[in-house]
Amino acid sequence: MLQYTIRRTLFAIPTLLLISLVIFLLLDLAPGDPTAQLPLTIPPDVKEKIRVSLGLGEPIHIRYLLWLNQFFVNEPLHILSELTAMDLSGDRQRVISWQTRSPVVDIIVQRLPQTLWVVGLSYVVGVAIALPIGIISAYRQYSWFDQIGTFVSMVGFSVPTFFTGVLLIVVFSVQLNWLPSIYDTTLVVEDWNSFVRQVKQMIMPVMVLALYNAAQISRFMRASMLDNLNQEYVRTARAKGLRERVVILLHVLRNSLIPVVTVIALGIPAVFAGAIITEQVFKVNGLGQLLIISIEATDLPMVQTLTFIFAVLIVAFNLVADILYGILDPRIRYD
Amino acid sequence: MTEAVEFTAPPSSQWNDVWHQFKSHRGALVGCLFFVFILLTVAFGPMVWSIDPQYIDIRARNSGMSIAHPLGTDQLGRDTLARVIAGGRTSVAVGVTAMLLSVLLGTFVGVLAGFFPKFDGPLMRFTDLFLALPLLPLLLVMIMLFRDVLRSVLGPESGVFILIVCVIGITSWMQAARIVRGDVLSIKEREFVLASRSVGTPPVRLVIRHILPNILSPIMVSATLGIANAIITESALSFLGLGFPSDFPTWGRLLYDSTDYLQQYPERVLWPGLAISLTVLSVNYMGDGLRDALDPRIRGR
């Protein structure tokens, strides 16, 4: 198992390098000049100096290697020296945002907690809703509960989050005036009142994403339960005289959770991407919103770093899913 | 989708069976009817409801539902019904074209990888690479990078249309490619392919005559679901403000523009939002029913 894990982890490195190259080339070879937005009154030689100061003077392969060095060596060293209070990074060049002229990673670190809270909580809530629904729908297949569950999950799967979000705002913020429609990031939770406000402003974004995730996961849970319910070992367990509760919750559930756990792990990067839209709806200033404003401002280093971080998430959780599958199901270990 | 409609004319008993099974799935049937209704509305709606969606009647701005404007008007007095129909035209057109592109690409890659072993490894690694790319961020980035150039070359509307179709097409072919490859791999080993090969059929004709008709069902299912995916992606892009310009309505764009007036006119977000949701829901149900209908193991029951 360890060998398999190491092999898979090593295999992820060239994948990530290739993805970073794809993103870099896409941004670099695209038509359009980052200095095109500057006023036309700037003389050409000054414009050239601006280009050089943005790091555009070097040929493309040199810039790619420089970026790799900045992202994979300088930034981790900087984080390390922040953590250990030792000066490891010195004055190494960091990835600088064109828009704010401050290090990209610093801005991302500021934005990360909002995204993590909303996305993380919504995924946990989504899984918590989905699992019982999936289990009951499978156990009572074709009952009214199953029919309604199937319909609701189909709706949840089809209605885009930017419509459910807006709809929730219309109902709960505009009509009922219960919840705020805009997520206030400056809110500091220090006492009960501010905690209540924090909960109130989190309910809608979290629920929108949670429902969307729950719709997908509950389908997987149902299908996986159905696969297992007809297996021989279930009949054996029943024949032994085990109570129905034990058969379902101990024998069937544990086996059917194996593929579902991998699906949950594989879904995490997609949730981060989906959060881009939800953050825009509720004006949460997280990573997704950062990506949108950087795209609108043609802030290439920021866009590149953010896109690459999303790619890292995908590769990392694919890896996690593979390894989890091996750990949970000894039948498919590859060693 | 049009394939579903063609089942009514029985070319062979197999399609009769498929239609019979499809009919028995109530959700699929309703979905299919609704999608046909949407197609007819966006195709012939402008002839029936002949108000120009761009016509600005500033005196009638922000009016509610009335006989003259069944769904009301927006802040410039443009008729909402006409705009929803016009928006649907673009959204459905983008959905169908992007789906065609992605299914074509997916089938091409899948057949190439499945039928010719020497392409299998590299093409599947390529597919894996695409699956590992963060698609929504990349879509946004690609639109940012190519929008202005295409706009100046092809004009604001067709430039953005082609860009969005291409961008959605090249980021959504991977699932189809994987399914097609798997099916081609299993069909390639069957006796009729061997027989065809033994009489000297060249590979290209073998693929077109014998392989492709046999993998039609997974292609049709992924095509149906591809429409839903493409419509949602286009609306999401428009909603993020990176899709079509605001004087060229699509459902996503209409929804995005209506959110500015959420406090004053909350009902305005309803129509484009409902249009997207119901269309996608009906397409998904259709895909579900089609999958059951085209699966001979389920059909027999």
pLDDT for residue B103 is more than 90? yes
Q: How far apart are CA B185 and CA A284, in angstroms?
A: 47
Q: How far is B136 from chain A (nearest CA, A)?
A: 6
Contact B251, A129 (CB under 8 A): no
Q: Residue A30: pLDDT band by 50, 70, 90 thresholds? A: low
Q: How far is CA B231 from CA A152, A201, B136, in A?
A: 20, 30, 14
Residues B13-17 have a mean pLDDT of 77
pLDDT for residue B157 is more than 80? no
Q: For the segment A144-167, what is each residue's pLDDT rounded down to a tens digit?
A: 888 898 888 888 888 888 888 888
| DSSP letter (8 states) at residue A96 | B
pLDDT for residue B301 is more than 50? no
Q: Which pair of tokens denotes residue B59?
A: 């005196």
Q: How far apart are CA A169 and CA B269, in angstroms?
A: 11
Q: Residue A226: pLDDT band by 50, 70, 90 thresholds? A: confident
8 Å CB contact of A160 and B276:
yes
Reported as half-sphere exposure (CB side, CA atoms, 13 A), residue B128 has a value of 15
Q: Between residues A65 and B48, which one has the greater pLDDT?
A: A65
Instruction: Return the H-helix or E-strand segment holding A125.
Output: helix A104-139
Percent share of chain A, pLDDT over 70: 93
Q: Is B120 helix (H, G, I), strand (E, B) or coil?
A: helix
8 Å CB contact of A159 and B133:
no
Q: What is the pLDDT of residue B297?
A: 67
Q: Residue B97: pLDDT band by 50, 70, 90 thresholds? A: very high
Q: What is the pLDDT of residue B298?
A: 61
Q: What is the pLDDT of residue A127?
A: 92
pLDDT for residue B106 is more than 90? yes
Q: Which residues of B touch A306 (CB under 8 A)?
A: 137
pLDDT for residue B136 is more than 60? yes
| DSSP letter (8 states) at residue A93 | P
Of A271, A279, A259, which is closest to residue A310 (Cα–Cα)?
Answer: A271
Q: Residue A98: pLDDT band by 50, 70, 90 thresholds? A: confident
Q: What is the pLDDT of residue A171?
A: 85
Q: Residue B1: pLDDT band by 50, 70, 90 thresholds? A: very low
Helix residue ranges, H only, chain B: 2-6, 13-24, 26-48, 80-115, 117-131, 135-154, 156-170, 174-188, 191-198, 203-206, 212-214, 216-239, 251-259, 270-294, 296-299
8 Å CB contact of A157 and B284:
yes
CB-count burial class (<10 Å; 0-12, 13-18, 19+) for B186: exposed
Q: How far is CA B291 from CA A149, B285, B295, in A?
A: 20, 10, 6
Q: Identity (one letter) of the amino acid at B118? A: K
Q: How far apart are CA A317 and CA A303, in angstroms?
A: 21
Of A226, A37, A231, which is closest to residue A135 (Cα–Cα)?
Answer: A226
Which residue, among B138, B147, B261, would best test binding to A if mutated, counting the most A CBs under 10 Å from its CB?
B138
Q: How far is B4 from chain A (nearest CA, A)?
A: 20
Q: What is the pLDDT of residue B153?
A: 81
Phi, psi of B73 (to 5 degrees): -130, 165
Q: For the segment B51-79, what is each residue's pLDDT rounded down to a tens digit?
A: 777 777 767 666 767 766 677 777 776 77
The mean predicted confidence, pLDDT, of chain A is 83
* Structural domains for chain B: 40-60+70-294 (1.10.3720.10)
Q: How far apart are CA A89 and CA B12, in angstroms?
A: 73
8 Å CB contact of B137 and A30:
no
| DSSP letter (8 states) at residue B73 | B
Contact A1, A327 (CB under 8 A): yes
**Helix B216-239 vs helix B251-259: crossing angle, to nearest 10:** 30
Place of tokens 């909350």: B266
Q: Is B239 on the interface with A (CB under 8 A)?
A: yes
Phi, psi of B206 (to 5 degrees): -60, -45
Q: Residue A35: pLDDT band by 50, 70, 90 thresholds? A: low
The residues that bridge with A103 in the sheet, in sequence order, are A96
8 Å CB contact of A307 and B149:
no
Q: Identity (one letter) of the amino acid at B230? A: A
Q: What is the pLDDT of residue B282?
A: 92
Phi, psi of A320 (to 5 degrees): -60, -45
Q: Which pair of tokens denotes residue A107?
A: 């801005």
| DSSP letter (8 states) at residue B150 | H
pLDDT for residue B3 is more than 60? no
Tell me the range of A47-51, A242-246, B5-9, B14-18 where mean pLDDT is highest: A242-246
Q: Which residues of B touch A32 (CB under 8 A)?
A: 145-146, 148-149
Q: What is the pLDDT of residue A198?
A: 81
pLDDT for residue A89 is more than 70? no
Q: Which residues of A touch B263 (CB under 8 A)?
A: 174
Q: Between residues A188 and A295, which one has the greater pLDDT?
A: A295
8 Å CB contact of A273 and B135:
yes
8 Å CB contact of A32 and B149:
yes
Number of Cβ within 10 Å of residue B95's Cβ equals 26
Q: What is the pLDDT of residue A90?
A: 65
Q: What is the pLDDT of residue B107?
A: 93
Which residues, in sequence order, are CB contacts of B226 under 8 Å at separation 6+? B98, B99, B102, B103, B172, B176
Place of tokens 């990673």: A105
pTM of the model: 0.84
Q: How far apart are CA B254 and CA B251, in angstroms?
A: 5
Q: How far is A134 from chain B (nearest CA, A)?
A: 18
Q: Residue A128: pLDDT band by 50, 70, 90 thresholds? A: very high
Residues B234-243 have a mean pLDDT of 85
Q: Is A163 on the interface with B (CB under 8 A)?
A: yes
Instruction: Return the H-helix or E-strand segment holding A314.
Output: helix A300-328
Among candidates B129, B134, B235 on the partner chain, residue whose Cβ is nearest the Cβ of A307: B134
Q: How far is B200 from chain A (nearest CA, A)?
A: 41
The mean predicted confidence, pLDDT, of chain B is 83
Q: What is the pLDDT of residue A33?
A: 64
Percent share of chain B, pLDDT over 70: 89
pLDDT for residue B11 is more than 60? no
Phi, psi of B88 (to 5 degrees): -60, -35
| DSSP letter (8 states) at residue B9 | S
Q: Between residues A209 and B45, which one has the greater pLDDT?
A: A209
Q: For the segment A307-333, what is each residue's pLDDT rounded down to a tens digit?
A: 888 888 888 888 888 888 888 877 766
Among candidates B134, B252, B284 on the partner chain, residue whose Cβ is nearest the Cβ of A310: B134
Q: Identity (one letter) of the amino acid at B62? A: N
pLDDT for residue B9 is more than 60? no
Percent share of chain B, pLDDT over 90: 14
Phi, psi of B79 (to 5 degrees): -70, 125
Q: Is B79 helix (H, G, I), strand (E, B) or coil?
A: strand
Residues A23-45 have a mean pLDDT of 74
Q: Is B156 on the interface with A (CB under 8 A)?
A: no
Q: Which residues of B touch A22 (CB under 8 A)?
A: 129, 133
Contact A100, A114 (CB under 8 A): no
Which residues, in sequence order, are CB contacts of B204 under 8 Å at separation 6+? none
Q: How far is CA A318 from CA A4, A224, B163, B176, in A?
A: 14, 20, 30, 20
Q: Which residues of B touch A310 (CB under 8 A)?
A: 134, 137
Q: Residue A192: pLDDT band by 50, 70, 90 thresholds? A: confident
Q: What is the sign of the dihedral through the CA atoms of B262, B264, B266 and B267?
A: negative
**Which of A204-218, A269-283, B12-26, B192-206 shows the lowest mean pLDDT across its residues?**
B12-26
Residues A270-294 have a mean pLDDT of 84
Residues B256-266 have a mean pLDDT of 79
Q: How far apart are CA B214 and CA A76, in angstroms?
A: 52
Residues B188-197 have a mean pLDDT of 89
